[in-house]
């Protein structure tokens, strides 16, 4: 039997062995790591999308309030500055694996949330502004966006939890280290003071 004949006989066995190895690897969850990683990244994209939607609403909201309450310059300036700072934080897919950059992003968004909250409290002193149709429409859009932000953050937290659990437990930890080089992702933490109920004044 010639060498080429032996080689031809081995080829089907090699193909079958490779196919079997592929099935075994697929069955062992080797694809779970990238699948969960992509899901978490998609969830992160939605978080960014909703924060951008909120940032886009702010200039119109500030201009509307300014028309009725220009004397509230300090509050309006705080909102504008917080929006600018939040927009300057550079964010990409690597942000979710970098604790310092993730914290910078979260802190900037929290500052913007706080400034918006102070603005909306200030508005309570201006009944004519509270009844303005443009302001009411913007306020409604902002409230809807805040709800979307909360949902997007919740979905992201769940996706990151699934991914981080996969890369830290067996057999995912093996695939994460051998094939994917996956890093744990950061998740949102509660805002400082969130454990205290808000003060309600009448």
CATH number of the domain enclosing 147: 1.20.1440.20
Nearest to 106 by CA among 120, 89, 129, 119: 89
Query: The domain containing residue 148 runs over which residues?
Result: 33-180
In a domain, 42, yes or no: yes
- Section 123-144 average pLDDT: 93
Reported pTM: 0.79
In a domain, 84, yes or no: yes
| Sign of the four-CA dihedral 65, 69, 75, 81 | positive
User: What confidence category does residue 201 fall into, taking pLDDT thresholds of 50, 70 and 90?
Assistant: very low
How far out from the chain centre does Cα 27 lie?
Answer: 30
Q: Is the pLDDT of residue 49 over 50?
A: yes
Task: List, in order, residues 6 or more apart from 100 with CB less than 8 Å away.
Answer: none
pLDDT at 195: 44
Structure tokens at 165: 């659990």
In a domain, 188, yes or no: no
Please write the tens of the pLDDT for every residue from 55-98: 999 999 999 999 999 889 999 999 999 999 999 998 887 899 99
What average pLDDT does the structure give for the chain?
85
User: What confidence category does residue 177 fall into, taking pLDDT thresholds of 50, 70 and 90?
Assistant: confident
In a domain, 52, yes or no: yes
What domain count does the chain have? 1
- Section 156-178 average pLDDT: 93
SS3 176: helix
């Amino acid at each position: 039997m010639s060498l080429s004949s032996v080689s031809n006989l081995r080829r089907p066995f090699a193909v079958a062995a490779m196919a079997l190895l592929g099935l075994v690897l697929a069955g062992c969850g080797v694809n779970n790591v990238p699948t969960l990683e992509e899901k978490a990244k998609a969830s992160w994209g939605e978080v960014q999308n909703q924060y951008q939607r909120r940032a886009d609403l702010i200039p119109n909201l500030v201009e509307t309030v300014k028309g009725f309450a220009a004397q509230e310059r300090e509050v309006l300036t705080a909102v504008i500055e917080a929006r600018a700072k939040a927009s300057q934080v550079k964010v990409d897919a690597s942000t979710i694996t970098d604790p310092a950059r993730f914290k910078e992003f979260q802190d900037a968004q929290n500052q913007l949330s706080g400034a918006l909250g102070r603005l909306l409290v200030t508005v309570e002193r201006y009944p004519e502004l509270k009844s303005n149709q443009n302001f009411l429409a913007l306020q409604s859009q902002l409230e809807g966006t805040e709800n979307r932000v909360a949902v997007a953050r919740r979905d992201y937290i769940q996706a990151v939890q699934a991914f981080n659990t996969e890369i830290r437990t067996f057999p995912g930890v093996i695939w994460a280290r051998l094939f994917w080089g996956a890093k744990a992702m950061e998740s949102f933490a509660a805002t400082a003071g969130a454990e205290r109920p808000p003060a309600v004044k009448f």
